[in-house]
Structure 1
Amino acid sequence: MFIPGSNLPVGPSPQGQADAALQPPAQAADDRRLSGDITMWCVIALEMLTFGLLFVVYAVARAQDPWVFRTGQSTLDLRLGALNTVILLTGSWCAARGVQALRSARATAGARWLWGAAALGTAFLVVKGFEYQQKLHAGYGLESDDFWMFYYLLTGFHFMHVAAAVLIVAAVAFLVPRRPWGPADTQAPETAAVFWHMVDLLWVVLFPLVYVLR
């Protein structure tokens, strides 16, 4: 820019320099992106819809025969359900810490946190398997009544999702030392963590619905 009648250039004003300094870096736009892979989010949306429909059908069936459902619920062990809730919530925390560590280029710490999440998921499966064994030994099977049909359907479907989450997180943890994941690329770990959080959220709804609400 030139002042009319003068050959002296005029630089940016101090105010303009201050405004430029306050502008966020171009990378800030990337921070607002959706974590994980968009395909996984589509899968999660489908899974949430499926579980949502199952929850609605369960609620309708319970309203039609509340005595059968209350009787079945009274035999469930709330302590095991609560323990598994704590296990999954802690696993979600570990998965989140793992992704955070990888974003900070701390690969060893990231792998450890992800292995911790996988171990907690395995613990959930062991506790749930023990609970299944107890109920089957007591004579409560899939064909016993409507409550037990829904119990095994809902918790069994969720059990398979936890097993899948454990495999996904463990696979990512195994690959951490072999892949250059870091601040510029954490999509795969984020995708694994997002799936884990979905499994956690489903249990947070399923536990009170099946175990607690009368």
Structure 2
Amino acid sequence: MSSPLERARYLLAAHTRKQLPEDGGAEVAFAGRSNAGKSSALNALCRQNALARVSKTPGRTQQLVYFELPPHEGKYLVDLPGYGYAKVPQDLQAHWQAFLDQYFHTRAALKGLVVVMDIRHPLKDYDREMLGFAVRRGIPAHALLTKADKLSRGAASSAVLAVRRELAGPYGDTVSVQAFSGESKQGVEEARAVVEGWLGL
């Protein structure tokens, strides 16, 4: 059965709050450090090969990239930039940090956050920071442990359990955790169900 996410298409890249779509719909944001596999995860979820790279220009790390889901008006996937803005000038870092803070604190349409982490190196500072944003805001978060095909099934299961245990302490059951591979498509249906549920699809 096809998923509504398969119709995803690039809408816009926002550098300031004024460029964001009207704040009346439902959107799910995807965050992840550079090289965590976020583009591959988005492409796998939407069954498209280059969706998440359509608008990406190296160095333009301070933009929120929106993908719309026709025919569902006001439903979006939002690609937050990878953790690479330390390489850009300081004033740009400050702008991006302020923009992201404002987005998380004020965006009413934000219904959930997917934090993409390499299953071999999960829960770095940036990952915790993103999860903290979601929990403080009272929205659900989903830890997507990518590149699970790089580990044996047993090792991947152990990694998921370890992350689940560690997150249960500070966050209780507000963060769900799963293993995922854009390469082997492991966990794709599970992750799709989470995102579609948050969007009410």
Report if TM-score (shorter chain) is over 0.5: no
Structure 1 or 2: more helix by fraction: 1
Structure 1 or 2: more strand by fraction: 2
Query: Per chain length, whose mean CA-contact separation is higher, i.e. which structure has more relative contact order (CA < 8 Å, sep 6+)?
Result: 1
Q: Please, what TM-score do these two structures have when normalized by structure 1? A: 0.22
Q: Please, what TM-score do these two structures have when normalized by structure 2? A: 0.23
